[in-house]
Structure 1
Amino acid sequence: MRSQRIAVAGGTGRIGKHIVEGLLEIKQQYSLEIIVLSRSRSSDISYAGNNAPIVLVDYQDQSSMRKVLNDFQIDTVISTLSGTTPDAFITSQESLLRAALTVPTIRRFAPSEFAFNSEQVPSIKLYQMKLPIIHSLRQVKQERTDSFEYSLFSCGVFMNYLGYGNTKPEGHKAHGHMPHFPYIFDLSKRSADIPGDGEKQIVYTRAEDVGKFVAAATQLEAWEEYSEMAGDVLTMNEVLRLCEDVCGTGKFNVKYNSREDIAARLSPSPETTEKIMENFFAEFLLAIMDGDCDVKRPINLNNLVDVRPMGVRKYLEQWWG
């Protein structure tokens, strides 16, 4: 059953907004109805000549969410909620799911993944708070006898981080709606901060293409449990060589980090958001070294939908060539 009336929770910023834009791009083609659930009021999201209204919700209030989903006769909920406080994040997603399950028209639910599958990276503490909703979805799937579906969308690292520091006209567009910072590679400084020997493969997908993939997936007749997508699958050394080649300024200043190097960056008791995020990115480097971020399943979505994502070389040439 294809999605027809879709609600994107947290769709006012970052990857959520890219998904909303992906849906708006195909809205007329498939006669879709799209709403954006948000904790705060803001203007409608406009893209490709179409609009998606912002609907104010309280993620701790199931009855208010139930009313919104019911009023709009939503059949698909896509969660892009985020946060660094586990209790609030877990409760918000669980409340959203429980509210959705009471709405007769609901048939699909996508939890907030959109990076690496959270089950693959047990050492990343912030990702542990993504596990309860997956367990809940599996239980619901087992208990319900109707056509309820869920899917875990994974896209690896956002390619947009490679655009940090570019000096192109309108260079800020390299980031899409994603935050502006370098991760592993800082092309503005011609440097790289690589975990291990750089031979571990990593999935890169441009955020704009994530939006296109998820939008296209709503029009599949059936959802698989895992929806894997990729713009490119490259080792970090291969990405490094592409960066050096496109920039054309010779070899980068590269640090190959041992486990001890990365572990030394971890704060034992992170209390501020800044320290929590520093630990998060360091834990990601360790997960890459451990092979947790390796491709574990077929990248199925690339073959299931008609999306042609941008590869790393083309992205680098656009913003650094």
Structure 2
Amino acid sequence: MVLTVAVAGATGAVGKTIVEQILKENKYSVVGLTRTEHVESPIDKVQYVQTDYDDHAALVQQLERHAVQTVICAIGMLGDDCSQAQVNLIKAADEATSVQRFITSEFGYFTREERRHVDPGLDWFLEAAELLKNSKLTYTRPVCGAFMDFLGIPHARSNIAPMNIAVDVQNREACIPGDGNIPITMIYSYDAATLVAKLLEVDEWSEFSFCNGDDTTLSEVLRMAEELCGEKFKVTYLKAEDVEKGDIPILKVPDGSGIQPNELLDYSLFGYHLYLARGFQLPEDQRIGNKFPGFKPRTVREFLEATWRPHL
């Protein structure tokens, strides 16, 4: 019997990548939960279901009708409404007779209580975790670190919106918070999605599922990019107090990103704050890739080589 996985936010950047990798594993049937009726660029073999996250009874019925065994929430936590959608989905999954497991929408930095001053939205993740602790569901909170996809703009295959933060390889520029030597775990989005897909094969889950990425620093990333391109970048080092005040320059807004300079500033400040708070430094133990001896995530160097070497 083929098990069915429901992916909420299946058309979003992270959700679509996860769906692609689950299908690549070719072991599960996928139902994509979407808010809209029309899906642009649908993926073959995925049944998309228009979902109202505010209708509890209908949501329970949808999960049971499709015999969903595992729910993966990939709704971007961009506001209270998104958080409430995940809360409602957890409650429906807990009630649905077919659902046994739930993967929360985190995927980025390591959400810990002491980082509340950095991320006002931390309560969204903590509320979901507390709800799951008191449910019948087996659950895990995936932690990926920082996606390295932005280093490959515009050549890398990625569903992640193009955004220049920290190191802009295309324009040979960089904005480095602090001295750039704080540890950071970086991972290609498709490697992270592969690990999430492989989690479906694991019987026992820990509360946190840490991804196996490349443990490096921004200074080292910059050095590798300059070495590959054969030239020095224009580098601005950002003082922590300037980041705190929001008084920082931003890198060039990528063509086709659809974002405005003020939005890039907000994203940059959020990322730099988390970087300085060591939010992207993941524990080395309990990394889920260790359960799969054949899995080897791409390093930053390998990603840069594959993405940029053909275009230099």
Give the structure-2-normalised TM-score.
0.87
Q: What is the percentage of aligned positions where both structures have the same residue?
A: 27
Question: Which residue of 58, 61, 67 maps to 1:64?
Answer: 58
Equivalent residue, structure 2, for 1:168: none
Residue 115 of structure 1 aligns with which residue? Answer: 108
Answering whether residue 220 of structure 2 is matched by residue 238 of structure 1, we say yes
8 Å contact kept, 1:232–1:312: yes
Provide the rounded CA distance (Å) in 2 between the counterparts of 1:136 and 1:273. 36
* 1:133 aligned residue: 128
Give the aligned residue type for 2:239.
S
- Within the candidate set 84, 92, 101, 2:78 is matched to 84
Match of 2:251 in 1: none
The residue aligned with 2:256 is none
2:22 aligns to what? 23
| 8 A contact 1:43–1:53 mirrored in 2 | no
Match 2:276 to one of 281, 289, 301? 289
Deviates most, 221-230 or 258-267: 258-267
Q: How does 1:90-101 map to 2 (within 5 A)?
A: 90-101=83-94
**CA positional deviation for 1:43:** 6.1
Letter in 2 for 1:132: E
* 1:178 alignment counterpart: 160
Structure 1, unaligned runs of 5 or more: 166-170
1:35 to 26, 31, 35: 31
Q: Provide the C-alpha distance between the structure 2 equivalents of 1:99 and 1:253, rounded to a whole number of angstroms.
A: 51
- Is 1:201–1:294's contact at 8 Å kept on the other side of the alignment? yes
Q: Secondary structure at the match of 2:68?
A: coil
Q: Describe the superposition over 1:264-283 as per-residue Cα deviations: whole angstroms up to 9, x where unpaired.
A: 3279xxxx997566334313
- For residue 237 of structure 2, the aligned residue among 253, 256, 270 is 256
Aligned mates of 2:224, 2:18 — CA distance in 1 = 28
Whichever residue aligns with residue 9 of structure 1, its letter is A
Distance 1:274 1:16, change over 3 A: farther
Instruction: Point out the more displaced range, 218-227 or 303-312.
Output: 303-312
Q: Which amino acid aligns with 2:127?
A: P
SS at match of 1:90: helix
* Partner Cα separation in structure 2 for residue 214 and residue 130 of structure 1: 18
CA distance in 1, matches of 2:79, 2:278: 27
**TM-score, scaled relative to structure 1:** 0.85
Distance 1:3 1:89, change over 3 A: farther
Deviation of 1:299 (Å)? 5.0
SS in 1 for 2:7: strand
Asked if 1:75 corresponds to 2:62, the answer is no
Mapped to 2, the partners of 1:176 and 1:223 lie a distance apart of: 28
**Deviation of 1:318 (Å):** 1.4
Partner of 1:265: 246
